[in-house]
Structure 1
Amino acid sequence: MKNFSGTTFTLVGRPGCGKGTQTKFLVKYLRSRGHKKIIAFSVGELFRRLEKKPTVLGRWTKKFLAKGQLAPEWMALALWFDEIKDKLVDKNQIVIIDGSPRRLSEAKALDFLMKDLGRKPMIPIHLDISEKEAKRRVSQRGRSDYKATSTATRMKWFKTEVVSVVKYYGRRIVKIDGEGSIEEIHQRILMALNKK
């Protein structure tokens, strides 16, 4: 595999496409290849952590997550910025962001930040699954933030927001067929990254 030191990966796709799972597999693979300095985080997990806090912001976050609403842009930016500001101590560290950017403005802000920090161009990975498959997977999760109404809302904002992010990335995006076994999808990602 190529040397990905200083690279930022983002994983985007429909709810249930396997972003979190494939992030873990990618981290494990990169570490096995000698990349020890990796920052990996899930923006969704950061929101779920925040909603548990007994604060005004925590309670407010819980309300919009329960409805499946997309978080305000400023909040997503603040969360991933906060996650890397103390952890990115070496410009050669690999950063893997699971589930963000979700809006075009977030994608542009992330590009701007990474370029300003002197890092390599971002490699966005789109795990592409059908809406039918996404609904099937989400229904099997049993997570409290995935009820029927919130799932429908999440599917809708994938079409209205995330698709514009995928288009923005254009030729840079690594589009992966996200249907199949976890290992098959992981191998597809590795093959595609080796061609980058």
Structure 2
Amino acid sequence: MRVVMLGAPGSGKGTQAKQLVQAYGAPQLSTGDLLRAAVKAASPIGLRAKAAMDAGKLVSDDIVLGLIEERLGGPDGLHEFILDGFPRNLAQAEALETLLGRLSLSLQAAILIDVSAEELKRRIAGRRTCRDCGAIYNVYTAPSAREGVCDACGGETYQRSDDNESTVAQRLATYAAETAPLVEFYRAAGKLHTVDGEQPVDTIFVELRKIAKVLS
């Protein structure tokens, strides 16, 4: 399985990606995880990423692509993967295709978890994060057992400052502007699969398993 997960913040694509990993064993490649691992390992590309982050800059596409290539290339490289968080725009999608071609790999599918803007605003506004372990809850869809208390570690849960209504609207507008061409890119390539992300989590995963069956 070699797929890209697409979806706006709050769409639940990360949750579904984790379930795919458990069901099929294809590693989830999260760009955030790759960055943290590279910085911790102090690899050459990790040092470049750290320098950018320390300077308050966005990590460039070539660094992210380099991290992905490190993970996929070489004799111990992966031949299956679930990419989560990359690509985010058309330029990144085209660069990823070039990279995969160089590694003699091909992307099988781009799976879009489609959720309406109004539902996304509601979900993100309801999100709560544990200050201690980073676990994420939602007061509407997946609340902790005790309000304000993390189920996993007992830490305090809180609403992040960037999860307020005005910031969420701006984030979703940026996502829509960048992602529309990306969705069309994969549709034109015959690789796009769209799943209604407003269904129950288990129902969404049933649909994902159907897609995975077609890919196998």
TM-score, normalised with respect to structure 2: 0.68
Question: 2:212 corresponds to which residue?
Answer: 193
Question: Do structure 1's residue 107 and structure 2's residue 93 form an aligned pair?
Answer: yes
**Aligned-pair CA distance for 1:83:** 4.1
Unaligned runs of 5+ in 1: 32-37, 65-70
Determine if contact 1:124/1:169 at 8 Å carries over to the other structure: yes
Matched letter for residue 115 of structure 1: G
Question: 2:170 corresponds to which residue?
Answer: 153
**Aligned-pair CA distance for 1:194:** 2.2
Matched letter for residue 94 of structure 1: E
Sort the Cα spacing of 1:157 and 1:45 in 2 relative to 1 into closer, same or farther, 3 A: farther
Question: 1:68 corresponds to which residue?
Answer: none
CA–CA separation in structure 2 for the residues paired with 1:50 and 1:145: 27
Question: 1:167 corresponds to which residue?
Answer: 184
CA–CA separation in structure 1 for the residues paired with 2:111 and 2:195: 7
**1:29 pairs with one of 23, 29, 52:** 23
Taking only the aligned residue pairs, the percentage that are identical comes to 26
Higher RCO (CA 8 Å, separation ≥ 6 residues) = 1
Determine if contact 1:91/1:119 at 8 Å carries over to the other structure: no
Stretch of structure 1 that moved more, 93-102 or 22-31: 93-102
Sort the Cα spacing of 1:116 and 1:50 in 2 relative to 1 into closer, same or farther, 3 A: closer
Question: Do structure 1's residue 81 and structure 2's residue 75 form an aligned pair?
Answer: no
CA–CA separation in structure 2 for the residues paired with 1:125 and 1:98: 10
Question: 2:53 corresponds to which residue?
Answer: 58
Which structure features the higher share of helix residues? 1
Q: Secondary structure at the match of 1:112?
A: helix
**Aligned-pair CA distance for 1:95:** 1.3
Unaligned runs of 5+ in 2: 40-46, 130-159
Determine if contact 1:10/1:123 at 8 Å carries over to the other structure: yes
Sort the Cα spacing of 1:42 and 1:15 in 2 relative to 1 into closer, same or farther, 3 A: same
Deviations 1:69-122 (A, max 9, x none): xx57xx244224314404544566211111221110000111111122111333
Q: Secondary structure at the match of 2:101?
A: helix
CA–CA separation in structure 2 for the residues paired with 1:50 and 1:85: 10
Report how many aligned residue pairs link the two structures.
173
